[in-house]
Structure 1
């Protein structure tokens, strides 16, 4: 007798047949397209990886020996400036300063003939600074000085030719106030209040008609002064003008205010508008 086939033995074959029948022609086209894409990607990726690896930059460190900095600074044909700065002392002249530095006056005369140079270089103020660029042989190559509070001038010699360079400098005017009571002298009281001699001399000049500062000053006299200071590049340059001041001498108060008169000139006037400085001083 033949053994009947089991139902479970025919089930897989029937399932495959059913699945084959369900796939349409379009389904097989989509499957083939996906398979082709997978094959192409697998072929491209190894080549792309090799290209990236080939493009990798290789770093190479190279050590270059440079000449010493001093050798560069001392290269032939480069003139090195050798500035020497001198602060003018009382009674000193340009000729004396140049003689002390060993500078030939023939070079100095060339600079003095330059327009605008003679006055500031021959009318030297105490404390003014002069700078000289002197060559190895003692020849004067350039001079530098302040024409005024805001202009610094450099005159450089090139044979018989003089070249000028003017630098503008920032100037500040600061207003200060100081008060003091006299115990021994005007200058001692002023110094204790931080006033410089130039401001004290100007104070005595302002009230010189009403007060004899040689004979009338007494212990207990007091004063207040509003004054200007000139500063440049953060450094004190000089004392400026007095703006206003009061002075109590032997119990009597005097006042002075700086004001431009009808002629435009600055002068000092009292509280009533009368000039403090008269046409003549008291004898």
Structure 2
């Protein structure tokens, strides 16, 4: 097998893929004006200088430029001169020419056409300042706009932004839990972005005139599904943090399984958790965590699983893989830390009417305006005055249950008949409307419209979805159920299953 140095001239041409076409950049012309014959000693010099120039062109030309040539069989003829011509828009000749041992030039070199500007500018991409930094702030409940801009270290910019109507209108959308991000360099604002739902965000930039411009944009923030598992070794929060699980996700997990596990006493080494949740990214930075999508927790050998699901009524909650709610169907009291002023009593003497009248509910004494919450998920079927009850709300729940809330001072703004509410939602405020001796809430708990004592009644552990809702839940939760099963097996095998999934 011949060595690389033993290749013939034809092999070299073949290696560089030089094509045999006649209408290309190499122009071979007959020098008929010259009658002087070439000497034999000059012919090799001319041919090899041509070859050298051609190889030099092949090696220095950009890879995207095709160099083609045509070598006629009469190249060795004494009367043949070779001229190398490369196309150029300006058609400007270089001042220097290459000769082959004689005073007459045998080649003329033209400039190769190239962009007039640097590649980065020519392609439309500006340089990126790698020293710029992003800072993030999550708006707190009692923050004002001045507080927000002080937190991001640009308090002086706020007044200028409020003078620009489109930007000032957008600033009104900043509310608790809004994410505000600011990009700056050496104290100069380069970009300001804020979002409350991660789907739509408002972006503000300085202009060349010293003012600012802003516009709403979509898809600036990326939601990634994240999976993680861990065994409890030292402490549930510490072990979760080591595995990249944020504290707010762990708080959601504990709230989901709170009905099954006492996390203050029952958790022990060897218990393990599986979580699937959402993280929010912007410009490649992890900004915040969002919702717990599914979770599993094994406590003392007992395994519990839960999947997040939104019903057709728009209520979002956590359910077992079989479709039952994780939480108890009802909580005992519709007011937190309230005092019972009158118990359920079928033979109670009415304090105003002064005669025996069944007291079919429980009265909770509380200051005027105290928030009242729904004790279970339900539909508003009554929201108006009801005789001696005064301003009253009645909620209809599944499986024949209903609850009544009366003597209200006012209803929650916007709440109407036909609306669905979730357990824990504020529905009204304590008052003394109707037959009441003072501000209090009269609360009734009914099964098939029969009142029962809400303090002593045996409450159902959980509610099941309706047949139609259950079918929808099982279809929507297939992916999560499979992931929980796979993650559990990987955990048992002590295999790493922590990952992010973009999208």
| TM-score when normalising by structure 2 | 0.33
Q: Does 1:59 align with 2:94?
A: yes
- Aligned counterparts of 2:220 and 2:135: Cα–Cα separation in 1: 22
Between structure 1 and structure 2, the one with the greater Rg is 1
What's 2:269 paired with? 219
Q: Does 1:130 align with 2:165?
A: no
What's 2:303 paired with? 253
Single out whichever of 235-244 and 193-202 deviates more from structure 2. 235-244
What's 1:235 paired with? 285
What's 1:145 paired with? 193
- Aligned counterparts of 2:264 and 2:332: Cα–Cα separation in 1: 13
- Aligned counterparts of 1:222 and 1:86: Cα–Cα separation in 2: 35
Change (3 A) 1:211 1:166: same
Structure 1 position 257, deviation (Å): 1.4
- Aligned counterparts of 2:224 and 2:287: Cα–Cα separation in 1: 11
Given that 1:88 and 1:124 are in contact with CA atoms closer than 8 Å, whether structure 2 keeps it comes out as no
What's 1:270 paired with? 320
Structure 1 position 234, deviation (Å): 3.6
Structure 1 position 213, deviation (Å): 2.0
What's 2:101 paired with? none
Aligned equivalent of 1:114, options 150, 158, 168: 168
Query: SS at 1:236's partner residue?
Result: strand
* Structure 2, unpaired ranges of 5+: 1-31, 35-90, 97-131, 334-503
Q: Does 1:193 align with 2:246?
A: no
Query: SS at 1:149's partner residue?
Result: coil
Aligned equivalent of 2:255, options 202, 205, 215: 205
Residues 243-276 of structure 1 show CA distances to partners (whole Å, capped at 9, x for unaligned) of: 2212122332221112232424332111331111
Residues 111-155 of structure 1 show CA distances to partners (whole Å, capped at 9, x for unaligned) of: 5873232232x5465x7423479999xxxx986222242444234
What's 1:88 paired with? 137
- Aligned counterparts of 1:133 and 1:244: Cα–Cα separation in 2: 40
Query: SS at 1:119's partner residue?
Result: coil
Between structures 1 and 2, the one with greater helix share = 1
Change (3 A) 1:171 1:211: same
Single out whichever of 204-213 and 87-96 deviates more from structure 2. 87-96
Give the 5 Å matches for 1:149-168: 149-155=198-204, 163-168=213-218
- Aligned counterparts of 1:239 and 1:132: Cα–Cα separation in 2: 24
Query: SS at 1:201's partner residue?
Result: helix
- Aligned counterparts of 2:148 and 2:312: Cα–Cα separation in 1: 45
Change (3 A) 1:166 1:60: farther
Query: SS at 2:248's partner residue?
Result: helix
Give the 5 Å matches for 1:65-84: none
Query: SS at 1:213's partner residue?
Result: coil
Q: Does 1:182 align with 2:232?
A: yes
Equivalent pairs counted in the alignment come to 208
- Aligned counterparts of 2:200 and 2:313: Cα–Cα separation in 1: 29
What's 2:478 paired with? none
- Aligned counterparts of 1:152 and 1:130: Cα–Cα separation in 2: 13
What's 2:117 paired with? none
- Aligned counterparts of 1:151 and 1:118: Cα–Cα separation in 2: 15
Q: Does 1:103 align with 2:142?
A: no
